Amino acid sequence: MLKVILVPQGPVQVKQPFLIAGTASAGCAGRNLKLTIDNRHSTNGPAIGLDGTWQLSFLFHQVGNRTMKFSVEDESVELTVQMVAVVAPPLGTSRLRFTIAPQTTQTGQITTFAGEADGYANGTQLLLRADQRYELGRPQVQGGRWQAPVVFGQAGSRIVLVNRKRGGLAGLGGAAVTSIVVCARSCPDPITSIPGQIRVEEMVAIAGEADGYPEDAQLVLRVDRQFELARPRVKAGKWQAPVLFHKLGNRVIEIIGSEQDQTEVTVNVQPGELEITPRSAWLNQPTPPELPNLQPKRITLHHTALSSSPPIDATPAQEAERMRFIWRSHVNGNRWSDIGYHYIIMPSGRIYEARAETKRGAHDLTNDGIGIAFDGIFTSVAISQPQFQSAVMLCAKLCQRYGLNNPVTPIPTPTADYGTRNLPLIIGHRDRRVATECPGSEGGKTVRLEEIRQAVKTRLSF
């Protein structure tokens, strides 16, 4: 149930911050409320904390009634706040101001607020409140000044207000307002470890501290205030999570303990570095120049279907030897003019230039595209994560180079049986009705074909 539990009672002066808080059903934790103001302006509202609470501070500049509608899924709640003009204190009477108003503090720590109270008689009692609800202190005016020590028990942001105590309820007229963020205990830096350079499609570990959280407490790591990346658990006051970014540019990472306790940091996700080992590194002989030229129309993915591919931590020397082995099996075994594929991606993720990209390959029956092979047999096992990342980077680069702008939408494509089939521009060998298992399982699952297409599409859109 979406409910409002804190809302100003009565009119609020313009240009003064106020707070609205509420609860939502626990199933909505981590989601954002949608906020619509005056049935016109819609925006992302506050996030719902893991404990189901949410809050948002407002500040309006215009007089009049403001209608606020909060909604999540099919639940919504609406309320109206009356904004009134700033009431100037009667001339020559009183004026309250904050002169000491810390922006942050910690729970359990003494925090001093102080200010001026021009025109107030000595001994006048003031009322210091949080969120227009909780009394923080009753400082007395001495020599036109006041001060009050305050201890906050709970973390969260607070609107702090001082005004004159009149009988029971204190009115808002002449009040001074400030806000403060209260951190849990020692205010550790909750995100302590961010890799210096974050590249797209590259797994990185982000870690931090979670002071005061019980063992195994679950946190939420979110990006761009929208997508959940991970739910790390607290171990001995620390947390860490492996993270993979698919999009380039500035991304906001948040670690969320609750609505009251979260922090964020902005990282810049860089393009992955595409490194291709040139053919000259493994073979002292170029692609025969008499081979027909190629204007690539698509990209076909293969597996080499050869056993004993180098391990994921192989050295470049081992992989160069493997490249010569594949070359020999194509040239001496198959009697081809050159190695069949244009590129081979080793389990380590290293990309090797094979046949010159400008020359027609020998990798499928039509050979009207670039042939990229994952070294190994992928009928039942999946390609390695480095192989996946390299394939995305390489395919994106080739799509750019040859104007293959849409790697996702199927178009009529010639097939081995002299027919056509609707296929995207990045395909698996068998997709063209070729009698082969290549590049492994049906639909390219083991070589993550659809994921590669989608990731390439994302990269091309930047």
Reduced to 3 states (helix: H, G, I; strand: E, B; else coil), residue 287 is: coil
Q: Are 30 and 256 in contact (CB under 8 A)?
A: yes
Which amino acid, one-letter code, is at 282? W
Count residues binding Zn ion (CB under 5 A): 3
The distance of closest approach from Cβ of residue 429 to Zn ion in the complex, given in angstroms and rounded to an integer, is 3
Nearer to Zn ion, 306 or 460 (CB): 306
The distance of closest approach from Cβ of residue 453 to Zn ion in the complex, given in angstroms and rounded to an integer, is 17
Nearer to Zn ion, 302 or 457 (CB): 302
Nearer to Zn ion, 49 or 340 (CB): 340
Q: Are 111 and 149 in contact (CB under 8 A)?
A: yes
Near Zn ion by CB under 5 A, which window of 26-34, 176-184, 217-225, 425-433? 425-433
Q: How far apart are CA 241 and CA 193, in angstroms?
A: 10
Given candidates 279, 429, 432, 459, which one binds Zn ion under the rule CB under 5 A?
429
Nearer to Zn ion, 229 or 426 (CB): 426
The distance of closest approach from Cβ of residue 369 to Zn ion in the complex, given in angstroms and rounded to an integer, is 12
**Contacts (CB under 5 A) with Zn ion, residues 289-318:** 302
The distance of closest approach from Cβ of residue 301 to Zn ion in the complex, given in angstroms and rounded to an integer, is 8
Nearer to Zn ion, 54 or 341 (CB): 341
Contacts of 94 (CB under 8 A, 6+ apart): 117, 118, 119, 120, 164, 174
Q: Taken in order 208, 214, 218, 222, is the CA torsion positive or negative?
A: negative
Contact between 457 and Zn ion by CB under 5 A: the answer reads no
Contacts of 167 (CB under 8 A, 6+ apart): none
User: How far is C-alpha 42 from the geometric centre of its chain's CA atoms?
Assistant: 22
Q: How far apart are CA 53 and CA 26, in angstroms?
A: 9
Nearer to Zn ion, 174 or 369 (CB): 369
Near Zn ion by CB under 5 A, which window of 98-106, 113-121, 332-340, 428-436? 428-436
Given candidates 126, 398, 427, 438, which one binds Zn ion under the rule CB under 5 A?
438
- The site string for Zn ion over 148-177 (x = CB under 5 A, - otherwise) reads ------------------------------
Q: How far apart are CA 12 and CA 18, in angstroms?
A: 8
The distance of closest approach from Cβ of residue 377 to Zn ion in the complex, given in angstroms and rounded to an integer, is 12
Residue 423 has φ and ψ, to the nearest 5°, of: -140, 150
The distance of closest approach from Cβ of residue 430 to Zn ion in the complex, given in angstroms and rounded to an integer, is 8
Nearer to Zn ion, 330 or 459 (CB): 330
Nearer to Zn ion, 107 or 436 (CB): 436
The distance of closest approach from Cβ of residue 54 to Zn ion in the complex, given in angstroms and rounded to an integer, is 53
As to burial, measured by CB atoms within 10 angstroms (0-12 exposed, 13-18 middle, 19+ buried), residue 445 is middle
- 128 pairs with which residues across the strands? 137, 162
The distance of closest approach from Cβ of residue 308 to Zn ion in the complex, given in angstroms and rounded to an integer, is 18
Near Zn ion by CB under 5 A, which window of 5-13, 231-239, 353-361, 426-434? 426-434
The radius of gyration of the chain from alpha carbons, rounded to an integer in Å, stands at: 32
Q: Are 106 and 182 in contact (CB under 8 A)?
A: yes
Residue in this structure with the two tokens 């993979």, named with its chain if needed? 244
Nearer to Zn ion, 344 or 456 (CB): 344
Near Zn ion by CB under 5 A, which window of 91-99, 145-153, 418-426, 434-442? 434-442
Q: DSSP E strands: which ranges in 24-125? A: 32-37, 41-47, 53-58, 64-72, 75-84, 95-100, 104-106, 110-118
**Contacts (CB under 5 A) with Zn ion, residues 44-83:** none
Q: Calculate helix-pair angle for 449-460, 385-401, nearest 10 degrees.
A: 50
The distance of closest approach from Cβ of residue 363 to Zn ion in the complex, given in angstroms and rounded to an integer, is 6
Nearer to Zn ion, 35 or 377 (CB): 377
The distance of closest approach from Cβ of residue 281 to Zn ion in the complex, given in angstroms and rounded to an integer, is 24
Q: How many helices (H) and strands (E) does the chain have?
A: 3, 31
* DSSP 8-state assignment for residue 329: I
Q: Are 300 and 371 in contact (CB under 8 A)?
A: yes
Which amino acid, one-letter code, is at 67? T
Contacts of 239 (CB under 8 A, 6+ apart): 207, 208, 209, 210, 219, 232, 233, 255
**Binding footprint of Zn ion on the chain (CB under 5 A):** 302, 429, 438
